Amino acid sequence: MASFIQLLVSGLATGAIYALIAVGFTLLWQTSQTINFAQGEFVMLPAFFVLAAMNLGAPFWLAALAGVVLSVIVLGLLFKLIIVDPMLKYGVLPLVISTIALSLFLKESAKDFYSSQAQPFPALVPPTDIHILGATISTQSLLVLAVAIITVGALHVLLNKTRLGRSMQATAQNPTLARILGIPVQRMVLYTFLINAVLVAIASILVSPIYLAKFTNGETLGLAAFTAAIIGGFNQVRGAILGGVILGVLDNLSAAYLSSQYRGAFPLLILVAVILLRPQGLLGRVEERTV
């Protein structure tokens, strides 16, 4: 039982990180039909921004802030202006190819310009353990959970309780109508890109103390984010959260109780099952098809 609680908590923490990444992923899809195959690399990169800032002598908090800001500029603004905007008119596929190339570009850049070795990354809290009901739970996991919940909560308030957020939702649901109502659609789309950049930067700072900062981190994280987004529902923020949490918990439990060799396979089997049985995802809406 104690080990089950341990696995559950660490699974929830992993799932919370997946959820943050997946939420950003679905936001981009909803507002601009961008399927960002580089989302995993987007999570890998901010950690290197932070490390680079620390190499310049900045204290950790300042470096983390610089990492978030740089990430907003590079992965939010520049990504939209340079990669996405010129290609939207060609439809979904060229953009998919381009983001695949971008993921390669970012990965190789981090490797060649920083290091091919895994870099230690400062932990946000001293790594001590707390004992609850006989289970050992690391403060790391609790912090990850807390930050993720606060972030998602803040995003929820932004999207549902503010005028800006409702304008963004209108843009996602019906861009033409939103434009008629006087909503600056292009600016709303840009905001979702910026929000995505903030989310991946937060995820990066949370995940790097655990996984170390390595140029290949994006491969597993990106795959997990796609899987989470599809399981939960591609077009729903709360679907992505649910998907992320399911995935994180399942990953930890199946590795412990079923087979550690095939731990990577279980999420994929669920992914295939969801796509076949409920392609819109557990919480998703059916999207209309155009002829």
Partner 1 sequence: MKRFGTAAAAIGAVFAVALPFFLKPFGIYVISMWAVLTIAAIGLNLTLGYAGQVSLAQGAFVGIGAYTVTVLMQAGWPFAAAFIAAGVLCFAVGWILGYPALRVQHHYLAFVTLAFTTLVFLVLRNEEWLTNGVYGINGIPRPVLLGWPTGKALNFYFFSLGMLTVLSLAAWWMLRSPWGRAFIALRENPIRAQSLGLDTRRYTLMAFAIGSSLGGLAGALYAPLVQFIEPNSFGLGMSFNLLLMVIVGGSGYFFGPFVGALVAVLLPEWMRIAEGYYLIVYAALVMAMMAFCPSGILGFAERAFKSASRGSQPAPALRAEGAGP
Interface positions, 85-104, toward partner 1 (CB under 8 A): 86-87, 90, 92-98, 100-102, 104
Among 1, 61, 128, 261, interactor with partner 1 by CB under 8 A: 261
Part of the chain binding partner 1 (CB under 8 A), chosen from 20-28, 46-54, 63-71, 272-280: 272-280
> Which of 185, 226, 236, 243 touches partner 1 by CB under 8 A?
226
User: Binding of partner 1 at residue 83 (CB under 8 A)?
Assistant: yes
Q: Rounded distance, CA 97 to CA 11, Å?
A: 32
Residue holding tokens 């800001």?
69
Q: Please count the residues of this chain forming the interface with partner 1, following the rule CB under 8 A.
A: 38
Nearest Cα to Cα of residue 48 among 61, 62, 64: 64
Interaction between residue 219 and partner 1 (CB under 8 A)? yes
H-type alpha helices, the chain: 2-32, 39-55, 60-71, 92-113, 139-161, 163-173, 175-180, 185-211, 217-232, 237-257, 265-277
User: Distances in Å between the alpha carbon of 173 and those of 33, 197, 284?
Assistant: 11, 21, 13
Total Cβ atoms within 10 A of residue 164: 14
CA 237 to chain centre: 12
Is 257 a binding residue for partner 1 by CB under 8 A? The answer is: no
128 binds partner 1 (CB under 8 A): no
- Please tell me whether residue 291 binds partner 1 under the rule CB under 8 A: yes
Question: Alpha-carbon distance 30 to 285, whole Å?
Answer: 12
x-or-dash string of contact with partner 1, 18-57, rule CB under 8 A? -----------------x----------------------
Stretch that binds partner 1, among 45-53, 171-179, 202-210, 220-228 (CB under 8 A): 220-228
Residue type, 101: A
Residue among 147 and 189 whose Cβ is closer to partner 1: 189
CB 284 within 8 A of CB 240: no
For binding to partner 1 (CB under 8 A), which residues are involved? 35, 83, 86-87, 90, 92-98, 100-102, 104-105, 108-109, 111-112, 219, 223, 226-227, 230, 261-262, 264-265, 268-269, 271-272, 275-276, 279, 291
